[in-house]
Amino acid sequence: MRKALLMICTAVMINSCGIYTKYEPQTTVPDKLYGDSVVIGTDTTSLGNVEWRELFTDTLLQRLIEKGLENNTDYKSAQLRIEEAEATLMAAKLAYLPSFAFAPQGSVSSFNSQKATYTYQLPITASWEVDIFGRIRNAKQQAKALYAQSIDYKQAVRTQLIASIANTYYTLLMLDAQLELTEQTVFSWEETVTAMRALMKAGQYNEAAVAQMEASLYSVRASALDIKEQINQAENSLSIILGETPQKHLRGKLCQLQLNCDIAVGVPLQMLSNRPDVRSAERSLESAFYATNQARSAFYPQIILSGSVGWTNAVGSAIVNPGKFLAEALGSLTLTLFNRGQNIAQLRISKAQQEEARLSFQQALLNAGGEVNDALTAYQTSHAKTSLFVKQIDALQTALNSTKLLMQHGNTNYLEVLTAQQSLLNAELQQVANMFAEVQSVISLYQALGGGRD
Protein backbone atom coordinates (compact mmCIF):
# COMPACT_ATOMS: atom_id res chain seq x y z
CA MET A 1 0.00 0.00 0.00
CA ARG A 2 2.79 2.39 0.90
CA LYS A 3 4.60 1.59 -2.34
CA ALA A 4 1.46 2.27 -4.37
CA LEU A 5 0.85 5.55 -2.57
CA LEU A 6 4.48 6.56 -3.11
CA MET A 7 4.22 5.75 -6.82
CA ILE A 8 1.05 7.81 -7.17
CA CYS A 9 2.58 10.80 -5.39
CA THR A 10 5.74 10.60 -7.50
CA ALA A 11 3.73 10.48 -10.71
CA VAL A 12 1.63 13.42 -9.61
CA MET A 13 4.69 15.49 -8.74
CA ILE A 14 6.37 14.70 -12.06
CA ASN A 15 3.28 15.58 -14.08
CA SER A 16 2.67 18.78 -12.10
CA CYS A 17 6.10 20.29 -12.74
CA GLY A 18 4.56 22.72 -15.27
CA ILE A 19 2.54 24.50 -12.58
CA TYR A 20 5.67 25.63 -10.72
CA THR A 21 7.44 27.30 -13.64
CA LYS A 22 8.32 30.94 -13.16
CA TYR A 23 7.72 33.65 -15.73
CA GLU A 24 10.90 34.83 -17.43
CA PRO A 25 10.83 38.58 -18.31
CA GLN A 26 11.36 39.58 -21.92
CA THR A 27 14.93 40.68 -22.64
CA THR A 28 14.98 41.12 -26.42
CA VAL A 29 13.38 43.46 -28.93
CA PRO A 30 13.00 43.15 -32.73
CA ASP A 31 15.98 44.15 -34.84
CA LYS A 32 15.90 47.71 -36.20
CA LEU A 33 12.99 48.56 -33.93
CA TYR A 34 13.30 52.27 -34.80
CA GLY A 35 13.68 51.63 -38.53
CA ASP A 36 16.60 51.55 -40.96
CA SER A 37 16.90 55.34 -41.10
CA VAL A 38 17.62 55.75 -37.38
CA VAL A 39 21.25 55.19 -36.45
CA ILE A 40 21.49 53.34 -33.14
CA GLY A 41 24.72 53.28 -31.18
CA THR A 42 25.54 51.92 -27.75
CA ASP A 43 24.86 55.17 -25.89
CA THR A 44 21.96 54.69 -23.45
CA THR A 45 21.29 58.44 -23.20
CA SER A 46 17.64 58.95 -24.09
CA LEU A 47 15.27 61.89 -24.24
CA GLY A 48 12.75 59.70 -22.41
CA ASN A 49 14.92 59.74 -19.28
CA VAL A 50 14.79 63.54 -18.99
CA GLU A 51 12.65 64.84 -16.11
CA TRP A 52 9.72 66.79 -17.53
CA ARG A 53 10.66 70.02 -15.70
CA GLU A 54 14.04 69.93 -17.40
CA LEU A 55 12.42 69.61 -20.82
CA PHE A 56 9.60 72.12 -20.33
CA THR A 57 11.29 75.11 -18.73
CA ASP A 58 8.37 77.52 -19.24
CA THR A 59 7.22 78.23 -15.69
CA LEU A 60 3.63 78.86 -16.82
CA LEU A 61 3.53 75.46 -18.51
CA GLN A 62 5.09 73.82 -15.45
CA ARG A 63 2.28 75.19 -13.27
CA LEU A 64 -0.33 73.84 -15.66
CA ILE A 65 1.28 70.38 -15.68
CA GLU A 66 1.43 70.36 -11.88
CA LYS A 67 -2.22 71.35 -11.73
CA GLY A 68 -3.12 68.60 -14.20
CA LEU A 69 -1.26 65.95 -12.20
CA GLU A 70 -3.19 67.08 -9.15
CA ASN A 71 -6.70 67.45 -10.59
CA ASN A 72 -7.05 65.32 -13.73
CA THR A 73 -9.80 62.74 -13.22
CA ASP A 74 -8.19 60.05 -15.40
CA TYR A 75 -5.01 60.27 -13.36
CA LYS A 76 -6.96 60.01 -10.11
CA SER A 77 -8.82 56.97 -11.47
CA ALA A 78 -5.49 55.35 -12.31
CA GLN A 79 -4.43 55.77 -8.67
CA LEU A 80 -7.65 54.09 -7.54
CA ARG A 81 -6.91 51.17 -9.88
CA ILE A 82 -3.60 50.72 -8.08
CA GLU A 83 -5.41 50.59 -4.74
CA GLU A 84 -7.82 47.98 -6.10
CA ALA A 85 -4.98 45.84 -7.43
CA GLU A 86 -3.12 46.22 -4.15
CA ALA A 87 -6.15 44.95 -2.23
CA THR A 88 -6.44 42.00 -4.64
CA LEU A 89 -2.79 41.16 -4.08
CA MET A 90 -3.26 41.34 -0.30
CA ALA A 91 -6.19 38.91 -0.56
CA ALA A 92 -4.03 36.53 -2.62
CA LYS A 93 -1.29 36.63 0.00
CA LEU A 94 -3.74 36.01 2.83
CA ALA A 95 -4.93 32.86 1.05
CA TYR A 96 -1.74 31.18 2.30
CA LEU A 97 -2.90 31.58 5.91
CA PRO A 98 -5.48 29.38 7.63
CA SER A 99 -9.00 30.73 8.02
CA PHE A 100 -10.64 30.84 11.45
CA ALA A 101 -14.29 30.96 12.41
CA PHE A 102 -16.19 31.16 15.68
CA ALA A 103 -19.58 29.41 15.36
CA PRO A 104 -21.38 29.00 18.74
CA GLN A 105 -24.50 26.79 18.78
CA GLY A 106 -27.16 26.11 21.39
CA SER A 107 -30.44 24.24 21.68
CA VAL A 108 -33.30 23.69 24.13
CA SER A 109 -35.34 20.46 24.05
CA SER A 110 -38.15 18.95 26.11
CA PHE A 111 -39.89 15.58 25.70
CA ASN A 112 -43.42 14.84 27.04
CA SER A 113 -43.49 17.97 29.22
CA GLN A 114 -40.37 16.89 31.04
CA LYS A 115 -37.74 19.29 32.25
CA ALA A 116 -36.03 21.08 29.38
CA THR A 117 -32.44 20.22 28.60
CA TYR A 118 -29.92 22.72 27.32
CA THR A 119 -27.01 21.90 25.05
CA TYR A 120 -24.33 24.16 23.65
CA GLN A 121 -21.15 24.17 21.59
CA LEU A 122 -18.53 26.92 21.56
CA PRO A 123 -16.13 25.83 18.80
CA ILE A 124 -13.37 27.74 17.02
CA THR A 125 -12.74 26.12 13.64
CA ALA A 126 -9.72 26.48 11.39
CA SER A 127 -9.15 25.46 7.79
CA TRP A 128 -5.92 25.56 5.79
CA GLU A 129 -5.28 24.52 2.20
CA VAL A 130 -1.87 22.93 1.68
CA ASP A 131 -0.74 24.43 -1.61
CA ILE A 132 1.21 21.44 -2.95
CA PHE A 133 -0.01 21.89 -6.50
CA GLY A 134 0.47 25.62 -6.82
CA ARG A 135 -3.11 26.88 -7.10
CA ILE A 136 -2.67 29.61 -4.47
CA ARG A 137 0.89 30.37 -5.49
CA ASN A 138 -0.03 30.99 -9.11
CA ALA A 139 -3.02 33.10 -8.06
CA LYS A 140 -0.66 35.22 -5.97
CA GLN A 141 1.83 35.61 -8.83
CA GLN A 142 -1.00 36.60 -11.16
CA ALA A 143 -2.20 39.19 -8.65
CA LYS A 144 1.34 40.58 -8.40
CA ALA A 145 1.48 40.95 -12.18
CA LEU A 146 -1.88 42.74 -12.23
CA TYR A 147 -0.73 45.05 -9.44
CA ALA A 148 2.42 45.94 -11.38
CA GLN A 149 0.26 46.47 -14.46
CA SER A 150 -1.92 48.96 -12.59
CA ILE A 151 1.22 50.94 -11.73
CA ASP A 152 2.26 50.85 -15.38
CA TYR A 153 -1.21 52.06 -16.36
CA LYS A 154 -0.87 55.02 -14.04
CA GLN A 155 2.52 55.84 -15.58
CA ALA A 156 1.00 55.64 -19.07
CA VAL A 157 -1.79 58.03 -18.03
CA ARG A 158 0.81 60.35 -16.50
CA THR A 159 2.92 60.39 -19.67
CA GLN A 160 -0.14 60.99 -21.84
CA LEU A 161 -1.37 63.73 -19.50
CA ILE A 162 1.93 65.65 -19.53
CA ALA A 163 2.15 65.38 -23.32
CA SER A 164 -1.49 66.48 -23.77
CA ILE A 165 -1.06 69.55 -21.55
CA ALA A 166 2.17 70.53 -23.32
CA ASN A 167 0.64 69.99 -26.78
CA THR A 168 -2.44 72.05 -25.94
CA TYR A 169 -0.33 74.80 -24.38
CA TYR A 170 1.89 75.10 -27.45
CA THR A 171 -1.18 74.93 -29.68
CA LEU A 172 -2.41 78.04 -27.90
CA LEU A 173 0.97 79.72 -28.43
CA MET A 174 0.79 78.88 -32.14
CA LEU A 175 -2.74 80.23 -32.45
CA ASP A 176 -1.76 83.39 -30.57
CA ALA A 177 1.11 83.95 -32.99
CA GLN A 178 -1.12 83.33 -36.01
CA LEU A 179 -3.74 85.71 -34.62
CA GLU A 180 -1.11 88.39 -34.07
CA LEU A 181 0.15 88.04 -37.65
CA THR A 182 -3.39 88.12 -39.02
CA GLU A 183 -4.32 91.23 -37.02
CA GLN A 184 -1.13 92.95 -38.17
CA THR A 185 -2.10 92.12 -41.75
CA VAL A 186 -5.60 93.48 -41.14
CA PHE A 187 -4.14 96.74 -39.84
CA SER A 188 -1.77 97.01 -42.82
CA TRP A 189 -4.48 96.26 -45.34
CA GLU A 190 -6.85 98.77 -43.73
CA GLU A 191 -4.23 101.47 -44.30
CA THR A 192 -3.82 100.28 -47.89
CA VAL A 193 -7.57 100.39 -48.54
CA THR A 194 -7.81 103.89 -47.03
CA ALA A 195 -4.96 105.08 -49.22
CA MET A 196 -6.48 103.50 -52.33
CA ARG A 197 -9.83 105.18 -51.67
CA ALA A 198 -8.09 108.54 -51.51
CA LEU A 199 -6.21 107.79 -54.73
CA MET A 200 -9.46 106.65 -56.36
CA LYS A 201 -11.01 110.02 -55.62
CA ALA A 202 -7.95 111.57 -57.22
CA GLY A 203 -8.55 109.43 -60.29
CA GLN A 204 -5.48 107.19 -59.96
CA TYR A 205 -7.41 103.97 -59.13
CA ASN A 206 -10.70 102.61 -60.28
CA GLU A 207 -13.49 101.27 -58.12
CA ALA A 208 -12.80 97.65 -59.09
CA ALA A 209 -9.30 97.78 -57.57
CA VAL A 210 -10.57 99.26 -54.32
CA ALA A 211 -13.43 96.73 -54.11
CA GLN A 212 -10.99 93.85 -54.65
CA MET A 213 -8.76 95.07 -51.83
CA GLU A 214 -11.76 95.53 -49.53
CA ALA A 215 -12.94 91.97 -50.27
CA SER A 216 -9.48 90.62 -49.37
CA LEU A 217 -9.53 92.68 -46.18
CA TYR A 218 -12.86 91.17 -45.16
CA SER A 219 -11.47 87.68 -45.83
CA VAL A 220 -8.51 88.28 -43.52
CA ARG A 221 -10.84 89.66 -40.82
CA ALA A 222 -12.91 86.47 -41.07
CA SER A 223 -9.72 84.42 -40.69
CA ALA A 224 -8.93 86.31 -37.48
CA LEU A 225 -12.37 85.41 -36.11
CA ASP A 226 -11.81 81.74 -36.97
CA ILE A 227 -8.49 81.76 -35.10
CA LYS A 228 -10.15 83.34 -32.06
CA GLU A 229 -12.73 80.55 -32.08
CA GLN A 230 -9.96 77.95 -32.26
CA ILE A 231 -8.21 79.63 -29.32
CA ASN A 232 -11.41 79.42 -27.29
CA GLN A 233 -11.79 75.72 -28.13
CA ALA A 234 -8.15 75.00 -27.22
CA GLU A 235 -8.52 76.81 -23.90
CA ASN A 236 -11.65 74.79 -23.13
CA SER A 237 -9.79 71.57 -23.98
CA LEU A 238 -6.97 72.56 -21.65
CA SER A 239 -9.46 73.35 -18.87
CA ILE A 240 -11.04 69.90 -19.24
CA ILE A 241 -7.62 68.23 -19.04
CA LEU A 242 -6.85 70.23 -15.90
CA GLY A 243 -10.19 69.29 -14.33
CA GLU A 244 -11.47 72.88 -14.37
CA THR A 245 -14.39 74.82 -15.74
CA PRO A 246 -13.75 76.76 -19.00
CA GLN A 247 -11.43 79.70 -18.37
CA LYS A 248 -8.50 81.68 -19.75
CA HIS A 249 -4.94 80.55 -19.06
CA LEU A 250 -1.80 82.61 -18.73
CA ARG A 251 0.83 81.72 -21.32
CA GLY A 252 3.98 82.95 -22.98
CA LYS A 253 4.80 83.56 -26.63
CA LEU A 254 5.90 81.13 -29.31
CA CYS A 255 8.80 83.35 -30.32
CA GLN A 256 10.23 83.01 -26.78
CA LEU A 257 10.05 79.23 -26.88
CA GLN A 258 13.09 77.25 -25.77
CA LEU A 259 13.23 73.48 -25.36
CA ASN A 260 16.37 72.33 -23.58
CA CYS A 261 16.70 68.85 -25.01
CA ASP A 262 19.15 66.52 -26.66
CA ILE A 263 17.34 64.54 -29.34
CA ALA A 264 18.71 61.11 -28.41
CA VAL A 265 16.65 57.93 -28.59
CA GLY A 266 18.96 55.59 -26.65
CA VAL A 267 19.03 51.85 -27.32
CA PRO A 268 15.78 50.06 -28.29
CA LEU A 269 16.12 47.66 -25.35
CA GLN A 270 15.21 50.56 -23.04
CA MET A 271 11.68 50.32 -24.41
CA LEU A 272 11.10 47.33 -22.12
CA SER A 273 11.65 49.44 -19.03
CA ASN A 274 10.77 52.99 -20.17
CA ARG A 275 7.48 52.64 -22.01
CA PRO A 276 4.66 52.05 -19.51
CA ASP A 277 2.33 50.66 -22.18
CA VAL A 278 4.99 48.14 -23.26
CA ARG A 279 5.53 47.15 -19.63
CA SER A 280 1.77 46.86 -19.17
CA ALA A 281 1.54 44.56 -22.19
CA GLU A 282 4.25 42.37 -20.68
CA ARG A 283 2.39 42.31 -17.36
CA SER A 284 -0.63 41.00 -19.25
CA LEU A 285 1.57 38.28 -20.69
CA GLU A 286 2.87 37.44 -17.23
CA SER A 287 -0.65 37.33 -15.81
CA ALA A 288 -1.78 35.03 -18.62
CA PHE A 289 1.25 32.79 -17.96
CA TYR A 290 0.23 32.26 -14.33
CA ALA A 291 -3.41 31.86 -15.34
CA THR A 292 -2.30 28.93 -17.51
CA ASN A 293 -0.44 27.46 -14.54
CA GLN A 294 -3.60 27.78 -12.48
CA ALA A 295 -5.57 25.96 -15.17
CA ARG A 296 -3.02 23.12 -14.97
CA SER A 297 -3.32 22.96 -11.20
CA ALA A 298 -7.07 22.30 -11.52
CA PHE A 299 -6.19 18.75 -12.67
CA TYR A 300 -4.73 17.93 -9.24
CA PRO A 301 -6.43 17.45 -5.88
CA GLN A 302 -6.96 20.00 -3.15
CA ILE A 303 -5.51 19.08 0.25
CA ILE A 304 -7.22 20.81 3.15
CA LEU A 305 -6.40 20.50 6.84
CA SER A 306 -9.11 21.51 9.24
CA GLY A 307 -9.76 21.33 12.94
CA SER A 308 -11.73 22.79 15.80
CA VAL A 309 -11.34 23.40 19.53
CA GLY A 310 -13.91 24.53 22.06
CA TRP A 311 -16.33 23.56 24.79
CA THR A 312 -19.51 21.52 24.67
CA ASN A 313 -21.87 19.83 27.13
CA ALA A 314 -23.22 17.38 24.52
CA VAL A 315 -21.00 14.29 24.38
CA GLY A 316 -22.68 11.58 22.36
CA SER A 317 -26.12 11.00 23.86
CA ALA A 318 -25.10 12.36 27.26
CA ILE A 319 -25.35 15.89 28.55
CA VAL A 320 -22.78 16.93 31.11
CA ASN A 321 -22.45 20.13 33.07
CA PRO A 322 -20.22 21.94 33.16
CA GLY A 323 -19.10 21.49 29.53
CA LYS A 324 -15.93 19.72 28.52
CA PHE A 325 -13.04 20.75 26.30
CA LEU A 326 -13.24 19.23 22.82
CA ALA A 327 -10.62 19.17 20.03
CA GLU A 328 -10.60 17.44 16.66
CA ALA A 329 -8.50 17.53 13.50
CA LEU A 330 -9.31 16.43 9.97
CA GLY A 331 -7.41 16.15 6.73
CA SER A 332 -9.16 15.87 3.37
CA LEU A 333 -8.08 15.36 -0.20
CA THR A 334 -10.56 16.39 -2.89
CA LEU A 335 -10.19 15.37 -6.50
CA THR A 336 -13.11 16.02 -8.82
CA LEU A 337 -13.97 13.07 -11.05
CA PHE A 338 -16.35 14.25 -13.76
CA ASN A 339 -15.04 17.66 -14.89
CA ARG A 340 -11.79 16.68 -16.56
CA GLY A 341 -13.23 17.77 -19.91
CA GLN A 342 -14.08 21.16 -18.44
CA ASN A 343 -10.55 21.50 -17.06
CA ILE A 344 -9.07 20.58 -20.43
CA ALA A 345 -11.22 23.22 -22.11
CA GLN A 346 -10.19 25.85 -19.54
CA LEU A 347 -6.52 24.97 -20.07
CA ARG A 348 -6.92 25.40 -23.82
CA ILE A 349 -8.59 28.77 -23.26
CA SER A 350 -5.76 29.88 -20.95
CA LYS A 351 -3.11 28.82 -23.45
CA ALA A 352 -4.88 30.70 -26.24
CA GLN A 353 -5.16 33.81 -24.04
CA GLN A 354 -1.47 33.54 -23.19
CA GLU A 355 -0.62 33.44 -26.89
CA GLU A 356 -2.88 36.46 -27.49
CA ALA A 357 -1.06 38.33 -24.73
CA ARG A 358 2.28 37.44 -26.30
CA LEU A 359 1.17 38.80 -29.68
CA SER A 360 -0.20 41.94 -28.03
CA PHE A 361 3.15 42.48 -26.35
CA GLN A 362 4.96 42.11 -29.66
CA GLN A 363 2.55 44.55 -31.29
CA ALA A 364 3.06 47.05 -28.46
CA LEU A 365 6.81 46.94 -29.14
CA LEU A 366 6.29 47.44 -32.87
CA ASN A 367 3.90 50.34 -32.23
CA ALA A 368 6.43 51.96 -29.91
CA GLY A 369 9.19 51.66 -32.50
CA GLY A 370 6.96 53.14 -35.19
CA GLU A 371 6.02 56.08 -32.95
CA VAL A 372 9.69 56.84 -32.30
CA ASN A 373 10.44 56.74 -36.03
CA ASP A 374 7.44 58.98 -36.84
CA ALA A 375 8.32 61.56 -34.19
CA LEU A 376 12.02 61.61 -35.05
CA THR A 377 11.30 62.00 -38.77
CA ALA A 378 8.79 64.78 -38.06
CA TYR A 379 11.35 66.61 -35.94
CA GLN A 380 14.08 66.31 -38.56
CA THR A 381 11.71 67.49 -41.31
CA SER A 382 10.35 70.51 -39.45
CA HIS A 383 13.82 71.45 -38.21
CA ALA A 384 15.19 71.37 -41.76
CA LYS A 385 12.28 73.50 -43.03
CA THR A 386 12.92 76.27 -40.48
CA SER A 387 15.70 78.00 -42.43
CA LEU A 388 13.75 77.57 -45.69
CA PHE A 389 10.76 79.45 -44.26
CA VAL A 390 13.04 82.28 -43.11
CA LYS A 391 14.47 82.63 -46.61
CA GLN A 392 11.02 82.38 -48.18
CA ILE A 393 9.61 85.14 -45.98
CA ASP A 394 12.59 87.41 -46.70
CA ALA A 395 12.12 86.88 -50.43
CA LEU A 396 8.36 87.49 -50.27
CA GLN A 397 8.84 90.65 -48.20
CA THR A 398 11.26 91.96 -50.81
CA ALA A 399 8.82 91.05 -53.57
CA LEU A 400 5.98 92.86 -51.79
CA ASN A 401 8.02 96.04 -51.30
CA SER A 402 9.12 96.02 -54.94
CA THR A 403 5.56 95.40 -56.16
CA LYS A 404 4.25 98.33 -54.12
CA LEU A 405 6.88 100.62 -55.61
CA LEU A 406 6.07 99.45 -59.13
CA MET A 407 2.36 100.03 -58.53
CA GLN A 408 3.01 103.54 -57.28
CA HIS A 409 4.83 104.33 -60.52
CA GLY A 410 2.18 102.68 -62.65
CA ASN A 411 4.24 99.74 -63.88
CA THR A 412 2.03 97.06 -62.27
CA ASN A 413 -1.55 96.67 -61.04
CA TYR A 414 -3.23 96.09 -57.71
CA LEU A 415 -3.70 92.34 -58.32
CA GLU A 416 0.04 91.72 -58.16
CA VAL A 417 0.28 93.64 -54.87
CA LEU A 418 -2.66 91.70 -53.54
CA THR A 419 -1.07 88.40 -54.52
CA ALA A 420 2.25 89.40 -52.94
CA GLN A 421 0.56 90.38 -49.66
CA GLN A 422 -1.44 87.16 -49.53
CA SER A 423 1.64 85.04 -50.27
CA LEU A 424 3.60 86.76 -47.49
CA LEU A 425 0.81 86.21 -44.96
CA ASN A 426 0.50 82.53 -45.90
CA ALA A 427 4.25 82.02 -45.58
CA GLU A 428 4.31 83.67 -42.15
CA LEU A 429 1.42 81.51 -40.96
CA GLN A 430 3.17 78.40 -42.30
CA GLN A 431 6.35 79.38 -40.49
CA VAL A 432 4.44 79.57 -37.21
CA ALA A 433 2.79 76.22 -37.93
CA ASN A 434 6.22 74.70 -38.65
CA MET A 435 7.59 76.02 -35.35
CA PHE A 436 4.69 74.31 -33.61
CA ALA A 437 5.25 71.10 -35.61
CA GLU A 438 8.85 71.01 -34.44
CA VAL A 439 7.82 71.44 -30.82
CA GLN A 440 5.05 68.89 -31.20
CA SER A 441 7.47 66.33 -32.67
CA VAL A 442 9.76 66.76 -29.65
CA ILE A 443 6.80 66.18 -27.32
CA SER A 444 5.73 63.13 -29.33
CA LEU A 445 9.28 61.75 -29.25
CA TYR A 446 9.45 62.38 -25.50
CA GLN A 447 6.21 60.46 -25.02
CA ALA A 448 7.23 57.69 -27.45
CA LEU A 449 10.43 57.13 -25.46
CA GLY A 450 8.50 56.83 -22.19
CA GLY A 451 9.18 60.30 -20.79
CA GLY A 452 7.32 61.87 -17.88
CA ARG A 453 7.68 58.93 -15.48
CA ASP A 454 7.65 59.42 -11.70
- List the one residue out of 328, 330, 331, 332 whose CA is nearest residue 309: 328
Q: What pLDDT, on the 0 to 100 scale, is given for residue 17?
A: 53
Q: What pLDDT, on the 0 to 100 scale, is given for residue 120?
A: 66
Q: What pLDDT, on the 0 to 100 scale, is given for residue 205?
A: 67
Distance CA 16, CA 132 (A): 10
Residue 8: inside a domain, yes or no?
no
The string of pLDDT tens digits covering residues 334-355 is 666 667 888 888 899 999 999 9
Q: What pLDDT, on the 0 to 100 scale, is given for residue 175?
A: 93
Residue 9: inside a domain, yes or no?
no
Q: Is 309 helix (H, G, I), strand (E, B) or coil?
A: strand
Residue 92: inside a domain, yes or no?
yes
Residue type, 237: S
Q: What pLDDT, on the 0 to 100 scale, is given for residue 112?
A: 63
Residue 113: inside a domain, yes or no?
no
Q: What pLDDT, on the 0 to 100 scale, is given for residue 160?
A: 92
Q: What pLDDT, on the 0 to 100 scale, is given for residue 42?
A: 61
Distance CA 58, CA 249 (A): 14
Structural domain tally of the chain? 1
DSSP assignment of 217-256 equals: HHHHHHHHHHHHHHHHHHHHHHHHHTT--S-------GGG
Residue 379: inside a domain, yes or no?
yes
Domain extent for 261: 17-108+118-448
Here the CATH number for the domain that contains residue 311 is 1.20.1600.10
**pTM recorded for the entire structure:** 0.82
Residue 12: inside a domain, yes or no?
no
Q: 215-224, 326-335, 374-383: lowest mean pLDDT where? A: 326-335
Most confident of 6-15, 19-28, 177-186, 321-330: 177-186
The string of pLDDT tens digits covering residues 382-441 is 989 989 999 999 998 898 888 878 777 766 666 777 788 888 888 988 999 999 999 999
pLDDT, greater one: 308 or 219:
219
Beta bridge partners of 107: 119
